[in-house]
Amino acid sequence: MKPDRRRFLASAAIAGAMPVALARAQAYPTRLIRVVVPFPAGGPSDVLARLLVPNLSSMLRQPVIVDNRPGGAGGSVGVKTVEGAASDGYTLLLLPVDAFIQAPLVFKDIHYDPIKSFAPVASLVTSPYVVVVNAALPVRSIQQLATYAKTNPGKVAFASPGRGTQPHLIGELFKLAAGAEMIHVPYRGTAPAINDLLAGQVQMLVDNFISSRPFIETGKLKALAVTSPVRSTYLPEVPTTSESGFSMLQADYLQGLYAPAGTAAETVEKLNASVNRALESTEIRDSLAMFGAVAEPRSVSEFDTIMAARARTSAATLAAAGIKSE
């Protein structure tokens, strides 16, 4: 075969393959996408998911739904649903970063690996935690809470959205710092924890602004401190844990979106770009502001770095709080 003819045939083959490769890259998504939230409806993860999915659906031009899968330690039922799903970008997971990373460290029967079994897709929102108490509790500051808990051993119960979650961790650190005998009451999500806090069944909760702010504003809950480095613009009168003498309680609440490991990089990048555009919308930013939360759009690699960093420090932090694997 003459060289010119070989070059022509090779060029034709490449040209013919390009539309096929392009079609494959542009094919996703072609059907409904499911965002699994491993907690009950009404909690912060659920609220965020329902803010996000209409914009995400518009960006991707396909229906996107929220699928609440509560139950199991650390939301493990929902997490395992996504872990076992096809790596095609049609089943995603939304939950707080620290709850995701820490659950396998505190529950012996959880065997997923948050780093190896999942692909980070997008960083979503962040907000400080706020230490809140039932309005009837006779304290007005976190220092007074520490004194009250110490002088009333066993009478202060602190709620959390689950064992091993960041609110549980902060609660245990506060208990140690106060030198108090306090009872931890874990729930399957934030919504039921707040319900019992409002009813006086428990006295304290370390919560995020997304779910607690409406009750703080109506006076049903008292905010004693925020865990951010500086005071929140949403609750400027509430001191930080650091300025209140509890610097070990400084922490932030970060939500993330994940896909099963092995999901094509092109699919992950497309999801990341769509989520980031959605987070930049005025509608979502204004809605988040109502809850004291801030959009945190990042690249896939940036979010991956954050996940790896938090995974490296989680075991030591849990050990410092006295939380052991059970």
- pLDDT tens sequence across 126-136: 988 999 999 99
Residue 12: pLDDT over 60: no
Q: What pLDDT, on a 0 to 100 scale, did the predictor assign at position 190?
A: 86
Closest to 167 (Cα-Cα) out of 122, 120, 207: 207
CATH 3.40.190.150 assigned to domain 32-125+253-320? The reply is: yes
Separation between Cα atoms, residue 190 and residue 211, nearest integer Å: 8
43: left (phi over 0), alpha (psi -120 to 50) or beta: beta
Mean pLDDT of 199-208: 95
Tally of CB atoms within 10 A around 56: 23
- Reported as a pLDDT band with limits 50, 70 and 90, residue 1 is low
Q: What is the pLDDT of residues 252-304, one digit of tens each?
A: 889 999 999 999 999 999 999 999 999 999 999 998 887 778 999 999 999 99
Separation between Cα atoms, residue 295 and residue 302, nearest integer Å: 15
Q: Which residue has the higher pLDDT, 10 or 115?
A: 115
By the 8 A CB rule, do 67 and 58 touch? Answer: no
Q: C-alpha angle 12/13/14, rounded to 5°?
A: 90
Q: Which residue has the higher pLDDT, 21 or 200?
A: 200
Q: Which residue has the higher pLDDT, 309 or 188?
A: 309
Q: What is the pTM assigned to this prediction?
A: 0.80
- Poorest-confidence range of 53-62, 99-108, 172-181? 99-108
Domain 32-125+253-320 and domain 128-249, same fold? Reply is yes
- Poorest-confidence range of 60-64, 171-175, 264-268, 308-312? 308-312
Domain edges within the chain: 32-125+253-320, 128-249
- At the top level of CATH, the class of 128-249 is alpha beta
- Of all residues in the chain, the percent with pLDDT exceeding 90 is 63
Q: What CA–CA distances, in Å, run from 269 to 60, 172, 266?
A: 12, 38, 5
Q: What pLDDT, on a 0 to 100 scale, did the predictor assign at position 18?
A: 46
Q: What pLDDT, on a 0 to 100 scale, did the predictor assign at position 321?
A: 84
- Reported as a pLDDT band with limits 50, 70 and 90, residue 20 is very low
